[in-house]
């Protein structure tokens, strides 16, 4: 059995549990419990503070964990980043009062910057030869300029609405982050095999989320043109229809290319196009 550490509450926790369920793993979850065990996979889930997850994984209390890259890098623990998970995307940015003039990162020389991420910020400033005073605070970082604690802040940004409501504006993007699966560096062969099985499921779910299954009807004299527009996993499946001179074409299209390809398919003569979500995709 392996132990997975995830955040005990919040959006990252919800998305992590959703991913585990999409991998076909069943468990009972309760807000009152700090751990739960899967009923159909050798997995125990621990619910922890996100800041504690890198240390728990590095120390071997948990075998793997799901945590934001920003938390992992800031913690500077000896845990391996195994897989980017594609959710809980955000950025760590420097912001200043919207009325302040800001031309470049050099403007921060000699200034005070409030942040909950002193290590990431310190490395960024050093890389840009900026010498500023870093004030480490936890929570409510955005209030620092208005109370005279700092001239700038460095904090996590998703939509930017919190900055705007506090009279701030982004001026530098310091670090891009998303949820990642991390692992202890010294796992037994047995646990590595279980993690490999879990990764296989996660990657199958991720591939499905990025793809659409499409079905369409087309006249046979348009098939070659339509085939050239459909990359698919290997080649589209083509089945004859009851109506002479027509075929049904089945394929998989990448989500990012979907609308552009659909337009081209219509122009090539495709009709009755159906789009179906994919639950799992195994190559």
- Spell out the domain ranges in the chain: 2-87+178-207, 90-177, 211-277
70 touches 89 (CB < 8 A): no
Centre a 10 Å sphere on the Cβ of residue 52 and count the other Cβ atoms it contains.
19
With the C-alpha atoms ordered 273, 279, 282, 283, is the resulting torsion angle positive or negative? positive
With the C-alpha atoms ordered 186, 190, 193, 195, is the resulting torsion angle positive or negative? negative
Instruction: Find tokens 């993690």 and name the residue.
Output: 195
pLDDT at 229 over 90: no
pTM as predicted? 0.84
Centre a 10 Å sphere on the Cβ of residue 3 and count the other Cβ atoms it contains.
20
Fold of 2-87+178-207: D-Maltodextrin-Binding Protein; domain 2 (3.40.190)
Whether 2-87+178-207 and 90-177 share one fold: the answer is yes
Confidence of residue 254 (pLDDT cuts 50, 70, 90): confident
What percentage of the chain carries pLDDT values higher than 90? 76
pLDDT at 96 over 90: yes
Q: What is the C-alpha separation between 220 and 283, in angstroms, rounded?
A: 28
pLDDT at 27 over 80: yes
Q: What is the pLDDT of residues 161-200, one digit of tens each?
A: 889 999 999 999 999 999 999 999 999 999 999 999 999 9
Q: What is the C-alpha separation between 244 and 47, in angstroms, rounded?
A: 60
pLDDT at 233: 58
- Rg of the chain over Cα atoms, rounded to whole angstroms, equals 25
Confidence of residue 235 (pLDDT cuts 50, 70, 90): confident
CA dihedral of 172, 173, 174, 179, whole degrees rounded to 10: 160
Question: What is the architecture, at CATH level 2, of domain 211-277?
Answer: 2-Layer Sandwich (3.30)
Fold of 90-177: D-Maltodextrin-Binding Protein; domain 2 (3.40.190)
Burial class (CB in 10 A: 0-12, 13-18, 19+), 277: exposed
pLDDT at 168: 95
pLDDT at 234: 67
């Amino acid at each position: 059995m392996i132990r997975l550490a995830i955040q005990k509450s919040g959006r990252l926790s919800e998305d992590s549990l959703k991913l585990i369920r999409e991998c076909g793993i069943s468990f009972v979850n309760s807000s009152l419990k700090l751990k739960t065990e899967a009923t159909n996979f050798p997995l125990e889930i621990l619910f922890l503070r996100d800041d504690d997850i890198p240390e728990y994984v590095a120390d071997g209390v948990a075998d793997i964990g799901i945590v934001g890259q920003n938390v992992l890098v800031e913690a500077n623990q000896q845990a391996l980043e195994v897989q980017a998970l594609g959710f809980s995307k955000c950025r760590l940015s420097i912001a200043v009062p919207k009325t302040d003039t800001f031309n470049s990162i050099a403007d921060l020389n000699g200034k005070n910057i409030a942040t909950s991420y002193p290590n990431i910020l310190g490395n960024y400033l050093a890389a840009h030869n900026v010498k500023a005073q870093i004030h480490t605070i936890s929570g409510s970082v955005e209030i620092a300029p208005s109370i005279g604690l700092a001239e700038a802040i460095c904090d996590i940004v998703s939509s930017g609405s919190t900055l705007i409501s506090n009279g701030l504006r982004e001026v530098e993007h310091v670090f891009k982050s998303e949820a990642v699966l991390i692992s202890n560096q010294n796992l037994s062969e047995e646990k590595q095999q279980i993690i490999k099985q879990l990764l296989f499921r996660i990657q199958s779910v991720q591939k499905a989320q990025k793809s659409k299954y499409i079905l369409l009807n087309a006249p046979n004299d348009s098939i070659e043109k339509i085939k050239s527009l459909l990359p698919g996993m290997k080649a589209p499946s083509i089945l004859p229809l009851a109506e002479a001179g027509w075929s049904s074409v089945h394929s998989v299209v990448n989500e990012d290319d979907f609308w552009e390809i659909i337009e081209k398919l219509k122009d090539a003569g495709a009709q009755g196009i159906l789009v179906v979500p994919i639950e799992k995709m195994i190559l």
